[in-house]
Amino acid sequence: MRHNAISSDEFEDLQRKVACAEACADPINFDQMLNRVCSLLNKWAQADVVTLILPPEEEGLEPMLHVFGQQPLLPISERSVRDDCASLLTSLEYAELPGEALRLRRGAELTPINGVLRDDYMYRFWWHEMKLDGQTVGIVALYGFVDWVLSPRVRRLLASLMPMLAAAINNAAAIENLRMQSDRDEMTGLINQRGVFDQLDRECNRALSTERELAVLLCEIEDFDAFAGTVEGDGALQTFSELALSLDRGFDIVGRIATNEFVFILPEIDQIEVIKLVESITSSAEQITLGGRPLSVSIGHAQYETGMSSDTLLHNADEALFEVRRRRALSQSSVG
């Protein structure tokens, strides 16, 4: 009996499919699964950036754009990728919105061995919808600093992986959405204390590995005790939360950790930008009334330093908030 011999290319592609199946096998940690899968796509397609556009986890939110790069994505590159993904959604008649409206979530980033980081326009050279039972569960798009064409063999390989990837991402996203709901503050819709701590750990680890800036703001609504648990107080909290989200750059994280305390986790932001944001929060809060008076907030700021733990970073922001409140009290007493 004669057997058809398998070519070396076919054997290699079979190995790649097995590797992808192994990467998709554990859906419990959504970010880690996406990192594993996208690192394989980066390698096989020689892409500089892999993006996954996923539907919003709840009504009223914009689509989520997951970005995985061979290097940290710098401003010009990031803008071109976001704008192109928004254009892709428009062409497919899923949504018509600007690139900055996409909520951004960054995956693992690798700094090139030679240490040279590029910040230039990026070209989309391949994309594919991921469908499950006829429903689109996401879109994969590959980008490079050079516009080039994938070989037919790699195109066939990537297309053959999409059903497997669609099922894995759909399962992982369902688990992630359940986790996010447990990390959600019912009053405001922001992430709660547990969610804040988890996200702050993640961003501190990312800041350490990429050597990029990270800041935390701890914001407290002043003179709130008398309104806690009242309809007016709840309304002020909800309005302030909407204000906080309106100032989100698309990848910032905002949470509520106590009755009248909010945390802003701000990746890739310098001191000047932080000062501007603090001024925006303070002045915008004054447009909200509580007890017939403009809402007043105190804000403490802390900047990440290499090796700093998330607990230390948040503690430093708390110390800064205490100092702001102390100076405010001294100022009011001197006026009185």
Domain with CATH 3.30.70.270 in the chain: 193-330
- pLDDT per residue rounded down to tens, the chain (336 residues): 455 667 888 899 999 999 999 999 887 788 888 888 988 998 999 999 999 998 876 666 678 888 888 777 788 888 899 999 999 999 988 888 888 888 888 776 655 545 567 878 999 999 999 998 888 899 999 999 988 889 999 999 999 999 999 999 888 888 877 777 778 888 898 989 988 998 899 889 888 877 788 999 999 999 999 898 899 999 999 999 999 988 887 778 999 999 999 999 998 888 899 999 999 999 999 999 998 999 999 999 999 999 899 999 999 999 999 999 888 888 776 655
Rg over alpha carbons for the chain, rounded to the nearest Å, is 23
Write down the architecture of domain 9-180 according to CATH: 2-Layer Sandwich (3.30)
- pLDDT for 301: 95
Q: Which CATH entry fits the domain spanning 193-330: 3.40.50.300, 3.40.190.10, 3.30.70.270, 3.40.630.30? A: 3.30.70.270
| DSSP collapsed to 3 states, the chain | CCCCCCCHHHHHHHHHHHHHHHHHCCCCCHHHHHHHHHHHHHHHHCCCEEEEEECCCCCCCCCEEEEEECCCCCHHHHHHHHHHHHHHHHHCCCCCCCHHHCEEEEEEECCCCCCCCCCCCCEEEEEEEEEECCEEEEEEEEEECCCCCCCHHHHHHHHHHHHHHHHHHHHHHHHHHHHHHHCECCCCCCECHHHHHHHHHHHHHHHHHHCCCEEEEEEEECCCHHHCCCHHHHHHHHHHHHHHHHCCCCCCEEEEEECCEEEEEEECCCHHHHHHHHHHHHHHHCCCEECCEECCEEEEEEECCCCCCHHHHHHHHHHHHHHHHHHHHHHHHHHC
Q: pLDDT value at position 186? A: 85
Asked if residue 16 lies in contact with residue 40, where contact means CB atoms within 8 angstroms, the answer is: yes
C-alpha pair distances (Å), 82 with each of 31, 86, 121, 242: 19, 6, 11, 23
In the chain, CATH 3.30.450.40 sits at 9-180
pLDDT of residue 114: 53
How confident is the model at residue 1, as a pLDDT?
47
Residue 69 pairs in a beta bridge with 49, 109
- Residue 256, pLDDT score: 94
